Amino acid sequence: MTSPRVIPIVDQRPPRPSRGRVPAPMASSRTGDLLLPDSLHALPPLDRLKRPLHDLRISVTDRCNFRCSYCMPKEVFTKDYPYLPHGDLLTFEEIARLARAFVSLGVRKIRLTGGEPLLRKNIEALIEQLADIRTPQGQPLELTLTTNGTLLARKAASLKAAGLRRATISLDALDDTIFRQMNDMDYPVAGVLEGIAAARAAGLGPLKINMVVKRGVNDHEIVPMARHFQREGLTLRFIEYMDVGATNGWRMDEVLPSAAVLERLQHAAAQGMLPALAPLERAAPGETAERWGYADGSAEVGFISSVTHAFCGDCNRARLSTEGQLYLCLFAHQGHDLRGLLRAGASDEDIAAAISGVWQERTDRYSELRASLPPESLGAMRPRIEMSYIGG
Ligand code: SAM
């Protein structure tokens, strides 16, 4: 028999004042008593839907130097927006300590994100700490980050030297006018391509390129992007425009389903503009993208279809916000305060136990539920956390 211990997770902070048009990210209001068996570490925890914990996404800043309308629209994310004050951010030591607890519970892959992760000062120092972590079997972690690429030309070599293994770079168009409009900072495509080249030269591959597709905005860039990155031998992933957060004014008619993207690629292949494509096996359980490969082996494409083809069934991702809230779903509206535990002096064991307890209660499957609802009811669903805060 195991003897249960009880650890309360209570967020005792007063709500942060909201100064912008959008309320500050919601703090956890959950008050829960977690039953913790002493045999906690014997087996990695499963959630209520029997999903293990494997990936951890860590948002290291809620700030970004882009204002993509689908993520951080300029009208909302003004200079007066209530970004997190510096003291609220987890320190690198706190992040590394939490990461070790997550690894003890099964996490094998860590992705740094944001906001724009390369804006966090001296991010290399955090990467060094994370790169030192070993699994219980003595293996290093798969350590990667997602970036808009603007600072990569300058930082790729130092990131690699610090221990970063791979990078995913976001780029929504090759057409300079369209791209400048989409990032809404008049930033040129050339800067991101330079970043991609630097990442490649530094050995941060295999590189992946993320393209969010918005119908009527950049869908005519699908084939040019595919041709470019096929020739480069890099994986291009098409992401369906998602209803994350509460500020992007998401509408279903702006989503171009992955099936339609694939059809355009196949049409281009039939015209000899691209090699033929064939479906590939998933590389790992819980992988977000459906993979296809060019028949000549030159490159892959991926489809991330959270809107039309929900993949909650084997979702094994946890998310740690910039201020140390644990979220169990990209579409969550509430987190679990881990920073409070850290700063209250909890032991490593208690922290791991608390995370395990939260994970074991997890039932989240937002995208699947959304798929079963009529589009008109989506607006009435509870407000969600912004992607720039929770991490993409
Ligand atoms: N700043 C980094 C970047 O640009 O890659 C990391 C953070 S960003 C939130 C992570 C990924 O989420 C990017 O590839 C971005 O394009 C994607 N993203 C943001 N908002 C989205 C939305 N509404 N739908 C689909 N993807 C989105």
What are the tens digits of pLDDT across the range 275-286? 999 999 988 888
Residue 173 vs residues 134, 178, 291: alpha-carbon distances, Å? 38, 7, 21
Kindly state the tokens that stand for 138.
């003595």
Is 8's pLDDT higher than 90?
Answer: no
Amino acid found at 208? K
Decide: 116 in ligand 1 pocket, CB within 6 A: yes
What is the per-residue pLDDT for 16? 37
Ligand 1 centroid from CA 71, angstroms: 7
Bridge partner list, 143: 110
Reported in sequence order, the residue ranges of the chain that DSSP labels E, i.e. its strands, are 5-10, 31-36, 55-59, 109-113, 142-147, 166-170, 208-213, 235-240, 277-279, 290-294, 300-304, 317-320, 325-327, 336-337
Ligand 1 centroid from CA 392, angstroms: 5
Decide: 255 in ligand 1 pocket, CB within 6 A: no
Question: At residue 169, what are phi and psi to the nearest 5 degrees?
Answer: -120, 135
Out of 8-17, 258-267, 378-387, give the one with best mean pLDDT: 258-267
User: Judging by beta carbons within 10 Å of its beta carbon (0-12, 13-18, 19+), is residue 50 exposed, middle or buried?
Assistant: exposed
With the most atoms of ligand 1 within 8 angstroms of its CB, the residue from 65, 112, 239 to mutate is 239
Structure confidence at residue 51 as a pLDDT band (50, 70, 90):
very high
Distance, CA of 328 to CA of 196 (rounded, Å): 31
What is the per-residue pLDDT for 333? 83
Distance, CA of 389 to CA of 239 (rounded, Å): 19
Decide: 218 in ligand 1 pocket, CB within 6 A: no
Dihedral sign (CA 175, 180, 183, 189): positive
* Residue whose pair of structure tokens reads 């000062």 in the numeric block: 121
With the most atoms of ligand 1 within 8 angstroms of its CB, the residue from 76, 146, 221 to mutate is 146
Query: Residue 52, Cβ neighbours under 10 Å: how many?
Result: 18
Identify the DSSP state of 254: G
CB 36 within 8 A of CB 356: yes
Structure confidence at residue 381 as a pLDDT band (50, 70, 90):
low
Decide: 248 in ligand 1 pocket, CB within 6 A: yes
Nearest atom within ligand 1 for CA of residue 113: 6
| pTM passes above 0.75 | yes
- Residue 203 sits at the vertex; the CA angle it makes with 197 and 208, to the nearest 5 degrees, is 65
Distance, CA of 296 to CA of 303 (rounded, Å): 19
Question: At residue 68, what are phi and psi to the nearest 5 degrees?
Answer: -55, 130
Nearest atom within ligand 1 for CA of residue 148: 4
Nearest atom within ligand 1 for CA of residue 114: 7
Is 66's pLDDT higher than 80?
Answer: yes
